Amino acid sequence: MQHDADLLRDTGVTGVSVRLTTPGGTVTARSGVSELGSSRPVPENGYLRLGSITKTYVATVMLQLVDEKRLTLDRTVEQVLPGVVTGAGNDGRSITIRDLLQHTSGLYDYTADVFPDPGARTYYANRWQAYRPAQLVAMAMRHEPEFPPRTDWAYSNTNYVLAGMIIEKVTGHTWEHQVHDRILRPLGLRRTATPGTSPHLPHPHASNYQQFTVDGPLFDTTIPYRPFDSGADGSMTGTADEVNDFFTALAGGRLLTPAALAAMRTAVPVPQDSGHPAGTRDGLGLFFTPLSCGGGYLGHGGSGFGYVIRAATTTDGRRTVTVSAHSRPADPQTAARQEDALRSLIDNALCRGA
């Protein structure tokens, strides 16, 4: 695993951290530096931005509400949030909660609107701006849907902004409150947080660096871009050990009934051009990816300016790995090499125990 972490670093990543949890114990690997210009290593179990891994926590809460018969997956968005999904051809009467969680709604991804001109200038000019969930959804509603519901698949952060709004409408409490009460507190995950618009990571943590132009400099982007790093689609922070604990508990059936977990794992094919490995399928906040040694793993990834994180667990929850990379390049070919190295690391970590 150390060899694989070094290979990922050698593709140009400033810092890499890996944590594998197995029945026989924990294995860690680190490579690179915590901060450019320093020789300090990446913290062994430092704080991380979880990005879109947040979606798995949110989907788990939604399925717990299904377990409690407070929601059904076939209930429409219009029935829960009247008048919210409408305009420009969008129709909440035809989009179900399942569609939101599985990215089959066709709803436009609002993130393109809050970062319209990619570059360092936009990041620094807008990174402190925060929006309410309803404002983000309203932005998306100005655009026609990508496709009619359930006729295709496309990843859209708008889906999970709506999921967070639904949790609050049904329970009377924010999605953050529900994640704490239903997942973090029962599992004892004291270093996992829902910081909302608070921009600071607790110490220790590695710095994140984004290259906005090919051959350009790396910019410190440890402060998140709050327009799309503040909500139910990607705002959580935590540590690798607690991410592993969560996915181990989820796959092991400790958070959902067998029926709800089966629904979460019922997946649709992901298009070949979506950037996911061949054979990937998307469930409800949980992807299934084939392993080279047979079978596959469950998990989710997250990314933002300057970081990529992946969490993956075998289908029985016995081997779980979290990998974090603390810089991102502008060159697509370099990004593809880093992605290949990251996927190989996960595959090797989970297959060694097969």
Q: Is 52 marked active-site? A: yes
Distance CA(87)–CA(93), nearest Å, equals 12
162: left (phi over 0), alpha (psi -120 to 50) or beta: alpha
Partnered with residue 19 across adjacent β-strands are 28, 322
Buried b (16+ CB within 10 A) or exposed e, 11-47: bbbbbbbbbbbbeeeeebbbbbbbbeeeeeebbebbb
The pairing of strands 307-314 and 320-325 is antiparallel
**Annotated catalytic residue, options 17, 31, 52, 156:** 52
Partnered with residue 287 across adjacent β-strands are 282, 299
Partnered with residue 193 across adjacent β-strands are 237
Distance CA(127)–CA(124), nearest Å, equals 6
- Nearest to residue 327, comparing CAs of 303, 300, 299, 301? 303
- Nearest to residue 156, comparing CAs of 105, 116, 117, 231? 105
Q: Are 350 and 298 in contact (CB under 8 A)?
A: no
- Nearest to residue 245, comparing CAs of 255, 232, 235? 255
CA pseudo-torsion sign 44, 47, 49, 54: positive
The values of phi and psi at residue 84, to 5°, are -85, -45
How many residues does this entry show for the chain? 354
Residues assigned a catalytic role = 52
